[in-house]
Amino acid sequence: MEFFYDKNKPRIKEKSYGRLAMQQRMRLAMAFLNPLRPIINETWLIKGEGNKSRAFGLALKKLIQDGVEGQYPTQYILPNQVSISMGTLSGVAIQDVVLSNHLIDIYFSSEENPSSRDGDEVILVAYSPELGMGGKNDVPCYRRDGHLHMELPIHFSESPFHLYLYVKAVNGKQYSKSSYLGYFENAR
């Protein structure tokens, strides 16, 4: 028993290193994924067994486990480890990425596969976590096309951005695991 206990003196309990590190990982992962929530809610839905909150929670868990590097307090996100979509659908092989004057062109190929269809939709996402902004290709592109063209969001004229690509099945339910294409800067 503490004889000199003073109830007016606030009890300051220092947080452990592990707790602080985990809280920072959570914050970093949440800040990175939250603007992409509308996409993740769809693309992780099968993993989340039809529940959007669970789907986002699983994406968050994966990012915390695989995509955060460094030691507290200098932890950081590895964008190439971020999976903005998840699934068993086969993806496409990227041949070339051409960025010119606010426009982006992706050239890709896809092998014949029993689980893939020519009509599967290929979706490109440009995302800047610093701005909390992102954009998808507004003109639909399909696996058979081999080429995707996208006008970049106006916000990215002066800010670098990450590119992710994934495939959505014709039935609209299945998705491929997303591919990370790199970190780009729009040089006008």
159 binds another protein (CB under 8 A): no
Q: Where are the alpha helices (DSSP H) in the chain?
A: 17-33, 37-43, 52-66
The single residue among 38, 119, 160, 182 that binds another protein, judged by CB under 8 A, is 38
Q: How near is the Cβ of 79 to another protein at its closest, in Å?
A: 17
Looking at the Cβ atoms of 108 and 127, the one nearer to another protein is 127
Sign of the torsion formed by the C-alpha atoms of 87, 29, 135 and 40:
positive
Q: How near is the Cβ of 158 to another protein at its closest, in Å?
A: 11
- Residue closest to 169 by CA, chosen among 111, 89, 110, 52: 89
Backbone angles phi, psi at 162, to 5 degrees: -100, 150
Give the contact letters, 87-116, x = binds to another protein (CB under 8 A), - = no: ------------------------------
Q: Judged by CB under 8 A, which stretch of 5-13, 31-39, 54-62, 171-179 contacts another protein?
A: 31-39
The single residue among 19, 80, 118, 132 that binds another protein, judged by CB under 8 A, is 132
Q: How near is the Cβ of 142 to another protein at its closest, in Å?
A: 16
The single residue among 133, 142, 170, 180 that binds another protein, judged by CB under 8 A, is 133
- Residue closest to 141 by CA, chosen among 118, 163, 162: 118
Looking at the Cβ atoms of 1 and 139, the one nearer to another protein is 139
- Residue closest to 73 by CA, chosen among 33, 31, 23: 23
Chain residues binding another protein by CB under 8 A are: 34-39, 125, 132-138, 153-155
